[in-house]
Chain A
């Protein structure tokens, strides 16, 4: 018998907490935008209306890459974005989205939740007064659309490619030329060969950009094996929430993240089927071993530089490397062995 509720408890239950969430994406953006919508629905149902979320998309706040600052300042309570967007603000935010030659989505989720990833992410975001949680995975991203075939390291020399961030640094180190092109002009730039290549996401989002109509080669991925989006929360706001609402939010974020992974996988599979059926001329390629080896070497050197300059970076890099080694051994003998043996 729980006994009658105290007046205090009754009042506590009736208080409605409101969270203003800003997302990097335009409104109704497929997959990513569905994730925030389902977070809102889930949280409001589970809390019986005590926790309300309003979602402002890019068209409203007009600051797709201002999410970090706006949540930090408390202009929004929460954000949906991607951690590596903030690497110019804090270099260590880079590691919590996806790293070249890094973990796959299941491996990375295991690292986040059971391998110390969450604790390291908290360490990075704590000094900004922010909490960060996994926000949904796009699964393995494709290596991009190329106008010419890459047969050797020589073919990469001077190759102009739109490839932002750390992967761009790796690319630059092996002789390519990462190039900034505004998103609105990407299509024209690739079509007219102002640039030779670009990377976007994968079948789920590339098809609607129409790149398959203008570039013959579609390369498999190496640089973002498991792009994880991010929920950002202002710490002061989080601390104001009662414990049960915190838990509801935490559980909902985790469910939504995993659900977005499934959703991405599903839509990628569907779009991949479309590509195979409707555009049989697209040539699917994987970079030759020589190129991959060079990029891996460049990647390791860049990581070593970062580790040498910053103890926290070293801690994260070491943690990811150690976990990858352990998890990959299991992946190899389980999923990889299975895929190899069943042969389809």
Chain B
């Protein structure tokens, strides 16, 4: 029977995977969006500022939400000069302390101040200042807080994994990011 901490970790990981799928879809939309804009401008001499603005809306959401998924996938780069020589337990301790001391306060502060940032845009109905630009700036501004909250949620899975590895509840993961 799987330990409940391991099951909890899997639950959080499923959330992070979902965020990954969401970002991947946004990325494909971004590629299409830019391609469409180039084709329309060059072949049909048509330019839409709204579509041009949509590009950076999509682009920024890809990397903002990607951070949560990448944390789960352990894709955030580490300097492994010492890390690679450490035991599984020590690595787990570093990940636990790092999450509590670095990730949590950082994400919490950004998410917290991001709310006021987005609310201000909502309060005055901020929109694009350019002809044909997109309305509702608060939505994209709100993505800052939302994505950092996602990192917070994902980081619970990250810390649970470290805890589970520390207590030997599951096999240590290979810290690696890219399998060719």
Residues of A within 8 A of B (CB): 69, 72-73, 84-90, 128, 158, 160, 164-165, 168-169, 171-172, 177-180, 194
Write the nearest CB–CB distance from A233 to chain B, whole angstroms: 18
Of B45, B46, B128, B130, which is in contact with the most chain A CB atoms at under 10 Å from its CB?
Answer: B130
Write the nearest CB–CB distance from A214 to chain B, whole angstroms: 19
Of A88, A160, A172, which is in contact with the most chain B CB atoms at under 10 Å from its CB?
Answer: A88
B47 pairs with A164, CB closer than 8 A: no
Contacts of A86 in B (CB 8 A): 129
Residue of A nearest to B128 (CB): A88
Contacts of A169 in B (CB 8 A): 131
A168 to B137 Cα, complex, angstroms: 20
Write the nearest CB–CB distance from B36 to chain A, whole angstroms: 15
A179 pairs with B126, CB closer than 8 A: no
A179 pairs with B41, CB closer than 8 A: yes
A178 to B128 Cα, complex, angstroms: 14
Write the nearest CB–CB distance from A148 to chain B, whole angstroms: 13
B117 pairs with A85, CB closer than 8 A: no
A204 to B167 Cα, complex, angstroms: 68
B124 pairs with A89, CB closer than 8 A: yes
CB of B39 within 8 Å of the partner chain? no
Where chain B touches its partner, the secondary structure class is: loop
- Could you tell me how many residues of chain B have their Cβ less than 8 Å away from some Cβ of chain A? 21
Which 4 pairs, one residue from A and one from B, show the smallest C-beta to C-beta distance? Answer: A88-B129, A177-B47, A158-B45, A169-B131
CB of B105 within 8 Å of the partner chain? no
Residue of B nearest to A182 (CB): B56
Contacts of B133 in A (CB 8 A): 88
Contacts of B126 in A (CB 8 A): 88-89
Contacts of A160 in B (CB 8 A): 41, 45, 47
B46 pairs with A177, CB closer than 8 A: yes
Write the nearest CB–CB distance from A130 to chain B, whole angstroms: 12
CB of B116 within 8 Å of the partner chain? yes
Given A69-B117, A88-B127, decide whether A180 and B45 contact each other with a Cβ distance below 8 A.
no
A178 pairs with B53, CB closer than 8 A: no
A89 to B123 Cα, complex, angstroms: 10
A178 pairs with B117, CB closer than 8 A: no
Residues of B within 8 A of A (CB): 41, 45-47, 49, 52-53, 116-117, 120-121, 124, 126-133, 137
A85 to B130 Cα, complex, angstroms: 10
Write the nearest CB–CB distance from A134 to chain B, whole angstroms: 20
B49 pairs with A180, CB closer than 8 A: yes
B130 pairs with A72, CB closer than 8 A: no
Write the nearest CB–CB distance from B40 to chain A, whole angstroms: 10
Given A158-B45, A177-B47, A179-B52, decide whether A87 and B129 contact each other with a Cβ distance below 8 A.
yes
Given A160-B41, A177-B46, A180-B52, decide whether A168 and B120 contact each other with a Cβ distance below 8 A.
no
Of A89, A165, A171, which is in contact with the most chain B CB atoms at under 10 Å from its CB?
Answer: A89
Contacts of A89 in B (CB 8 A): 121, 124, 126
Q: Which residue of the partner chain, among A73, A85, A194, contacts B129 with CB atoms under 8 Å?
A: A85
A172 pairs with B120, CB closer than 8 A: no
Residue of B nearest to A172 (CB): B131
B117 pairs with A165, CB closer than 8 A: no
Given A85-B129, A180-B130, decide whether A73 and B120 contact each other with a Cβ distance below 8 A.
yes
Write the nearest CB–CB distance from A144 to chain B, whole angstroms: 16
A69 to B60 Cα, complex, angstroms: 21
A72 pairs with B120, CB closer than 8 A: yes
B52 pairs with A172, CB closer than 8 A: no
A87 to B127 Cα, complex, angstroms: 8
B53 pairs with A180, CB closer than 8 A: yes
Contacts of B124 in A (CB 8 A): 89-90, 128
A165 pairs with B130, CB closer than 8 A: yes
Contacts of B117 in A (CB 8 A): 69
Contacts of B116 in A (CB 8 A): 73
A164 pairs with B129, CB closer than 8 A: yes
B47 pairs with A178, CB closer than 8 A: yes
A69 pairs with B120, CB closer than 8 A: yes
A250 to B87 Cα, complex, angstroms: 66
A84 to B130 Cα, complex, angstroms: 11
A164 pairs with B130, CB closer than 8 A: yes
Contacts of A179 in B (CB 8 A): 41, 47, 49, 52
A72 to B119 Cα, complex, angstroms: 13
Of B45, B47, B117, B126, which is in contact with the most chain A CB atoms at under 10 Å from its CB?
Answer: B47
